[in-house]
Structure 1
């Protein structure tokens, strides 16, 4: 099953990762200190991966009686396919796989094993290649599928960025949130998006719980990027965007939860995006922009929320994974 919708254009990320030496802080701690605070930790049991190529082999656990979601900004699907994209996808074996920033205007064959993933929905811009584009591959047939944000004053600009799957027990909202743009030229549009996104999620949540997944293009707290002090006017870390994200999580009667931070409240230096510039990956200078957010009332179903830190090399992002108990 395949659906196609139009996406909007978005310029390349400009996330303010400055060249080594131009920043007043020389380490990669989000607080700019030489070591984590007493409360914060680096999860020192294993070193943080800084590989720049996808490992030749990967292995991930598959738990019985659970549903696994994987989300990944591939930063150009065709390019990712040439750089060990399938190594990760086959190793993860997620039940539902959401990709963002596909940058394609037609379906791409051979992305996944169609015998495993019988259901798939594409969102892209017809007629030309853009910077947006989403696709969801699923082993499970949903009740219904919808595209875009009906709550936005101009729903057309949301096409290609949101795909919502309805299941018996929850909604799964696969999302690629727009960037505020170089020099914040689209910050006003981003704020409008945030307001529409919040309204949309709360409308769904009034019916049944939600999982909101994808590249949400915001680093919520200073702990969520390597150099917060020099990026306060950078897209993704402006006060306006952070305030909007905080309101989406905690501003309504029913709360939403950033699952990775819930399970790793004090963990430092774990990021999902690393600029190709300035050797950011090898220096672990990154941003946590990718999320699995859930309705608070189903938090007890969450078994695991992880960042696949070692699965880098096919994109400038790494995948994220959410595992929940019981059927959808």
Structure 2
């Protein structure tokens, strides 16, 4: 009898009434409206979606501020196909830092040169293809560009790009994951120590903004299930202590989001939701993405926001920081930025 019922259902659907057609039109219109992202998503609304929203509503950035965005895109070519450019066009960051590009060479056609004339790419030099990689897209020409954490040579996976601006360094970093069964934990510990030394060397000249997917949930409230993840990559005591050491310099560096929102413990603070097990819909997430700033920059930090509504392009969502501009001496002439590394050629040419 079941096949007969299915056949009857098809027959009824093939001859819809006017009321049915009207209901379908209403449902389609509602779906389109629902896909448009609000300026700040409701923490109770975390759909699992494989495409980014079709529209966004973000206010323009005040002229006296930088808008810095970090986003692990989990393959830039794939993210572009899912609607990444629509998000960037709406957000209009001053500087966009991207991690896990998974490209083997600069692909300038993926981003609008007019909006971001200064583009910098780094990819693995160890022969790995479609792995890791970082990129920075900037509206402002930097004074210099550096790759890796020199003098250290441990970054052969395209994980670090540093842009020097007039009054701060911006470090875009994709910190190595400790891996399944923590096989890369010793490497990760050495990485954190090396990064700490590198940041200190930069701070001898000017303050730093250290951003990216730093692959650590620092405190228990930075992930949804701390008790069952104490030996999971990203929440081991070794990784958490390594990040604490980066913050606990003298003067200390500041986890800007947690400084502004010390009591936020809901899914609204998570920047990563695994694709497995419907984690986003269940609000099972981690806070892995950061803006860490030298303490002297803290008075200039206006706000830091997790773009929870910008789902679908990646297993991460963007993180945004607004930073007041400092007083700087205007540049003279059209000097090209000093580039340290063969991959640093300004792609605006």
Q: TM-score, normalised on structure 1?
A: 0.83
Deviations 1:111-155 (A, max 9, x none): 222111110110012555242100000000111000001153xx1
Give structure 1 stretches of 5+ with no counterpart: 1-43
Give structure 2 stretches of 5+ with no counterpart: 1-39, 329-349
Instruction: Tell me if the contact between 2:122 and 2:159 (Cα under 8 Å) persists in the aligned partners.
Output: yes
Cα distance, 1:151–1:226 mapped onto 2, change above 3 Å: farther
**Secondary structure of the residue that 1:137 maps to in structure 2?**
strand
- How far has the Cα of 1:254 moved from its partner? 1.5
Residue aligning to 1:149? 149
**Secondary structure of the residue that 1:97 maps to in structure 2?**
strand
- How far has the Cα of 1:253 moved from its partner? 1.3
Residue 321 (structure 1) aligned with residue 320 (structure 2)? yes
Mapped partners of 1:242, 1:174: distance in 2: 20
- How far has the Cα of 1:206 moved from its partner? 1.8
Instruction: Tell me if the contact between 2:304 and 2:321 (Cα under 8 Å) persists in the aligned partners.
Output: yes
- 1 or 2 for the larger relative contact order (CA 8 Å, sep ≥6)? 1
Structure with larger Rg: 2
Residue aligning to 2:55? 57
Deviations 1:280-319 (A, max 9, x none): 0111100000000000111000111111010010000000
- How far has the Cα of 1:51 moved from its partner? 2.3
- What is the aligned counterpart of 1:194 among 175, 192, 195? 192
Residue aligning to 1:224? 222
Bigger fraction of residues in helix: 2
Mapped partners of 1:83, 1:226: distance in 2: 27
Mapped partners of 2:147, 2:193: distance in 1: 17
Instruction: Tell me if the contact between 1:211 and 1:293 (Cα under 8 Å) persists in the aligned partners.
Output: yes
- What is the aligned counterpart of 2:180 among 161, 173, 182? 182
Cα distance, 1:111–1:219 mapped onto 2, change above 3 Å: same
Instruction: Tell me if the contact between 1:151 and 1:199 (Cα under 8 Å) persists in the aligned partners.
Output: no
- How far has the Cα of 1:190 moved from its partner? 0.4
After alignment, is 284-293 or 47-56 more displaced?
A: 47-56
Mapped partners of 1:45, 1:194: distance in 2: 33
Instruction: Tell me if the contact between 2:124 and 2:133 (Cα under 8 Å) persists in the aligned partners.
Output: yes
